[in-house]
Amino acid sequence: MNEQKATRRRQAKGTSEFRQNDKKTQSQYQPYKDAEWGFINHWYPALFSEELAEDQVEGIQICGVQIVLRRVDGRIHALKDQCIHRGVRLSAKPMCFNKETISCWYHGFTYNLESGNLDTIVGNPDDKVIGTVGLTTYPVEEVGGMIFVFVRDDDFPDEDVPPLAHDLPVRFPEKSEEFPHPLWPAAPSILDDNIVARGIHRTGEANWRIACENGFDNAHILVHKDNTIVQAYNWTLPLGIRPVSDDCITSFEEEGAPKGMMQWLFSDRWEPVLENKQLGVKIEGANSRFYRTSVVLPGVLLVENWPEEHIAQYEWYVPITDDTYEYWEVLLKVCPTDKEKEAFNYRYDRVFEPLCIRGFNDCDLYAREAMQDFYGDGSGWESEVLVDTDISPIMWRKLASKHNRGIAKQPAGVQGNVKASSIRLKNLAAGKAPGYLVDKIDD
Amino acid sequence: MQFSDDVIYTVDVAEGEGILAAALAQDVPVLHQCQSGSCGSCVCHLAAGKVEMRKDMSASLLKSEQDAGMRLACISQAFSDSVLDFDYDSKMGEKGPINVTVFIDSIDWLSDDVIRLNVELADGQWFDFKPGQFAQIQVPGTNQVRRYSMSSSPEDLPKIEFLIRILPEGLMSDYIRDTAKVDDALEIEGAFGSFFLRDISAREPHIMIAGGTGLAPIMSMLDAIRKKNGIKPSILLSFGCLNSSSLFHVDELELRTDWMPTLKTRISLNQGEAENNIIIGNPLQALQPSDVTAEDTVAYLCGPPGMISAAHSMLEGFGLKPENIHAEQFVASE
């Protein structure tokens, strides 16, 4: 036996302790709680098309996976952004000698953009390792002015990659019969012809699940009560919306289609609360603002009829690390003519971006940040006290536990894994917060 | 001796010498443990030649298994040049079993006669196993050991879970029931056994059959498959217990079906009344020929010898290939 006397492991991290509790509570959404770094083997937005010009190289991180993107002859290639040799990010100092490859700027390991294989080494072209190793590649789709990547495990087979549409919100009018919307016209989709998608993405300091749940939590509209756009338009945005029927949420789980749930807001299944007599609070707004939220895996929100008719808002909360996410806010409108396109762009720039995308949704950003400490060490999932409006996050957690294509493991050797690394501290001291895009080397 | 990765070893066996002993002496990585014909770890298939098991030792192989060419290498002798197939990778046995210390995290009664024992590896120690394998736990204060399959998956390490059937009398049963407490140390050795999940990424439909605490290795396999990201195979688990007071893990199986939509379960009781979707009968009676939808279906069986034997012939009758049926006989340790 062992020479030394065996001793118990130290309870190293708070999480292991809570994990054990989880087992006892037999939580139905344990897999969701395990998904600190996100759900892998899903489609995520990577960049807006305009952020990646011809021959441009950018580095991003999703679910702890570093990815480098390069556009060649219009087509986008995505590879793991971590040289197999010494782990350097190729995107930190892009070096491309031709249209077929990308080279590591450090020791010259050169990878085929199509296959990811190590094609040559700049200063060592006869090395035996050439042709025997490579980097994982990621399928890419570009639609509606957005670039999507399929972020996958290294061993996830090409033939199993589902269509992008399976990880996007449900479409209308295709679903208008299943999910009628008598109070507003059919919502546009990023997959529609002539779609114009305008929006921003920015980094939020919270776990992605906290962010995602905020998006469709029907009690959270209280934080928007005093927003400029609400007051300017004199909207009757309720203090809260309560479920009053057992069919207030419908899940959709068919094979070969998006998996998620629809909330029947502004129907008789949910009751808007406009007044709290005890507190003397009352919503006085005169203009109805009907909307409806649905969410699909891996965490994509659709807000129909928002902020105006014929417009929809999409949101993603793309995990970067376990405590940062890239918040995507995109407004969509079908604009068949240049005139309509111009009008939408003008309105986006003058009204929607300042008042909705920033003004309104800024509140969501700080609300998520405010929850992060409670959930960040894993304890919040155990100690939260939920009420009837929380049926939405609970349903979502169960659905996500069931239909995700994989739980991202804590990554190895990537930025953000070591929270207080010297590089991170140096960047902070220089005024650069941890973010989504690679820090390019100034030469 | 041929392994599934096409690695072939030629072993010289003297007359009267045990094949396993000869193989181990010549560094052939055969899985083994008891070396006395009981644990079944060294099971192999006679592909050519004449190999017989000793008549003066009891073997845990069924008559039907012997007739199908299966042999336990430890109690087998060669009577001609022969070829033995081992249906696992030659690398499997290269890392031998090791001894580790674990500490008890919790002891929970799951039914009238089943206890769930959760333990954690001691600081700085590690232990590798394949889902389905077993360990030997030393009964504290004695030099006696008992065999139990891990019911947790390797991903749960350093935590390990066992499902222990408590008999009215028995060395380990008495210890667990009467003496064991949280933070007690246990010495375990492992991992052993050739009953393990063959391919964690397999896409072929799986049928799993478990009787009583024979569910333990099956749980380990289910969790291993569930935690492997990506597309999962369809799995049909038929699990049976004697009666409602011995039934356990209904909630755990329900959770697994919630988490893994490709998993379907059937639960049966030998005695009692049909209620809550519970079938009266044994776990084999809960299955029909129509449950086998593909000829490459893979089966994992763990339960009492009678059940295994009947399951073998039933599944072959349903069209499964014998080489795709993996079984472990389960005998409650005292």
Q: Is the peptide bond before A307 cis (omega within 30 degrees of 0)?
A: yes
- Using the structure block, give the residue that is written with the tokens 């350097």: A88
- Whether residues B211 and B318 share a domain: the answer is yes
A28 in contact with B, Cβ within 8 Å: yes
- Decide if pLDDT at A14 tops 60: no
Whether residues B254 and B291 fall in one domain: yes
What are the chain B neighbours of A402 within 8 Å (beta carbons)?
258-261
pLDDT (0 to 100) of residue B332: 63
**By the CB < 8 Å criterion, does A33 face chain B?**
no
Cis ω for the linkage preceding B217 (within 30 of 0): no
pLDDT band at B245 (very low <50, low <70, confident <90, very high): very high
Mean pLDDT, to the nearest integer, of B140-165?
95
Phi-psi label, residue A416: left if phi above 0, alpha if psi -120 to 50, beta otherwise: left
> Is the domain of B178 the same as that of B272?
no
Instruction: Give the residue from B238, B193, B213, B242 showing the smallest Cα distance to B303.
Output: B213
The C-alpha atoms of residue B221 and residue B227 are separated, in whole angstroms, by: 10
The number of distinct structural domains making up chain B is 3
* pLDDT score, position B334: 61
Which whole number is the average pLDDT over A229-251?
Answer: 91
Q: Are strands A140-143 and A240-243 parallel, antiparallel or unpaired?
A: unpaired
Distance from C-alpha of A414 to C-alpha of B86, rounded to nearest angstrom: 41
Examine the fold and report which residue of B93, B113, B144 is the final residue of a domain before the chain moves on: B93
Is B217 contained in some domain? Answer: yes
Residue ending a domain, among B34, B69, B93, is: B93
Question: To the nearest whole percent, how much of chain A has pLDDT over 70?
Answer: 95
Query: To probe the interface with A, which of B229, B256, B263 has the most A CB atoms within 10 Å?
Result: B229
Q: Using an 8 Å Cβ cutoff, are B129 and B140 in contact?
A: no
CATH code at position B269: 3.40.50.80
Residue A242 dihedral angles phi and psi, to the nearest 5°: -105, 140
Residue B267 β-bridge partners = B239, B278
CB B253 within 8 A of CB B239: yes
Q: Is the pLDDT of residue B274 over 80?
A: no
Residues B160 and B173 in one domain: yes
Considering only alpha carbons, which residue of chain B is nearest residue A397? B259
Q: Is the dihedral of CA A73, A74, A80, A82 positive or negative?
A: positive
CB atoms within 10 A of CB A385: 5
Distances (CA, A) of A3 to A6, A7, A132, B142, B145: 9, 12, 43, 20, 21
Q: Which residue has the higher pLDDT, B322 or B236?
A: B236
The pLDDT value recorded for residue A3 is 54
Q: Give the percent of chain B with pLDDT over 90.
A: 74
What CATH number is associated with residue B86?
3.10.20.30
* Secondary structure of residue B91 in the 3-state scheme: coil
Domain-embedded: residue B254: yes
Strands (E) in chain B, as ranges, are: 2-3, 43-48, 51-53, 70-72, 76-78, 83-86, 98-109, 114-121, 134-138, 145-149, 159-165, 185-192, 206-211, 235-241, 263-269, 278-280, 298-303, 325-329
H/E stretch holding A373 reads helix A361-376
Å from A112 to nearest chain B CA?
A: 26
b vs e for B293-330, b when ≥16 Cβ sit within 10 Å of the residue's Cβ?
eeeebbbbbbbeeebbbbbbebbbebebeeebbbbbbb
Rg (CA), chain B: 20
Enumerate the β-bridge partners of residue B120: B103, B159
> Which residues of A fall within a CB distance of 8 Å from B200?
none
Q: Test B120 with A405 for CB contact under 8 angstroms.
A: no
Contact B231/A at CB under 8 A: yes
Provide φ and ψ at A8, rounded to 5°: -70, 150
Same domain, B259 and B304: yes
Chain segment A129-147, per-residue pLDDT in tens: 999 999 999 999 999 999 9
What is the tens place of the pLDDT at every residue in B7-43?
999 999 998 899 999 998 888 989 888 888 888 889 9
CB contact under 8 A, B123 and A1: no
- B104 and B77: one domain? no
Average pLDDT, chain B: 92
In a domain, residue B334? The reply is no
Query: For position A11, what pLDDT does the model report?
Result: 60
pLDDT beyond 80 at B333: no
pTM summary value: 0.85
Name the pLDDT band for A20 (thresholds 50, 70, 90): very low
Specify the pLDDT at position A269.
Answer: 94
Mutate to test the interface with A, among B121, B157, B259, B262 (most CBs of A within 10 A): B259
**Could you tell me if residue B197 is inside a domain?**
no
Which of B99, B121, B230 minimises the CB distance to A160?
Answer: B230
Neighbours of A442 (CB within 10 A): 5
Q: From residue A311, how far is each of A104, A307, B5 by CA, in Å?
A: 43, 7, 58
The helix or strand, by DSSP H or E, that contains position A260, with its residue range, turns out to be strand A260-263
Residue B70 lies in a domain: yes
Instruction: Write down the pLDDT at residue A143.
Output: 97
Contact of B227 with chain A, judged by CB distance below 8 Å, is answered with yes
Q: Which of B150, B111, B228, B115 lies closest to A31 in space, CA to CA?
A: B228
Whether residue B314 has pLDDT greater than 80: yes
Dihedral-angle region of residue B281 (phi above 0 means left; psi in -120 to 50 means alpha; beta otherwise): left
Instruction: Write out pLDDT tens, residues B59-74.
Output: 888 888 888 899 999 9
Same domain for B318 and B249: yes
**How does A47-71 read in b/e, with b if 16+ C-beta sit within 10 Å?**
bbeeebeeeebbbbbbbbbbbbbbb
Q: Does A154 touch chain B (CB under 8 A)?
A: no
Tell me the mean pLDDT in the region B198-205.
92
Indicate whether B111 and B180 sit together in one domain: yes
SS3 label, residue A300? strand
Q: What is the pLDDT, as a whole number, of residue B253?
A: 95
Residues A210 and A325 sit within 8 Å (Cβ to Cβ): no
Angle at A434 between CA A433 and CA A436, to 5 degrees: 120
CB-based contact (8 Å) between B9 and chain A?
A: no
Residue B198 domain flag? no
Task: Note whether B281 and B231 are same-domain residues.
Answer: yes
Name every chain A residue with its beta carbon within 8 A of the beta carbon of B227: 407
- B143 part of a folded domain: yes
Neighbours of B223 (CB within 10 A): 22
Contacts of A56 (CB under 8 A, 6+ apart): A70, A71
Beta bridge pairs of residue A59: A68
pLDDT at B58: 80
Residue B304 and residue B211 share a domain: yes
* Average pLDDT, rounded, for chain A: 92
**Based on the domain organization, do B225 and B169 belong to the same domain?**
no
End-to-end C-alpha distance for chain A, whole angstroms: 57
ipTM of the complex as predicted: 0.79
* Containing structural domain, residue B173: 98-192
Q: In chain A, what's the furthest Cα-to-Cα distance?
A: 81
Query: What angle is formed at CA B150 by the lines to CA B145 and CA B154, rounded to 5 degrees?
Result: 130
* Same-domain status, B169 and B215: no
**Do A109 and A84 meet the contact criterion of CB atoms below 8 Å apart?**
yes
Q: Summarize the confidence of residues A55-63 as an average pLDDT.
A: 98
Percent of chain B with pLDDT over 70: 99
8 Å CB contact between A110 and A122: yes
Question: Containing H/E element for A420?
Answer: none
- pLDDT tens digit sequence for A29-45: 989 999 999 999 999 99
Contact assessment for residue B308 and residue B301, using Cβ atoms and an 8 Å cutoff: yes
Helix runs in chain B, H state only: 19-25, 63-67, 171-174, 215-227, 250-259, 305-317
CB-nearest partner of A8 from B103, B230, B252: B103
CB-CB under 8 Å, A2 with B101: yes
Q: Are B220 and B152 in contact (CB under 8 A)?
A: yes
**Residue B200 forms part of a structural domain:** no
Q: Pull the structure tokens for residue B112.
A: 């009238």
Is residue A67 within 8 A of residue A79, CB to CB? The reply is yes
HSE on the CB side for A219, CA within 13 Å?
11
- From B93, B115, B139, the end of a domain falls on B93
Smallest Cα–Cα separation from B26: which of B35, B13, B15?
B13
Q: Which residue has the higher pLDDT, B159 or B61?
A: B159
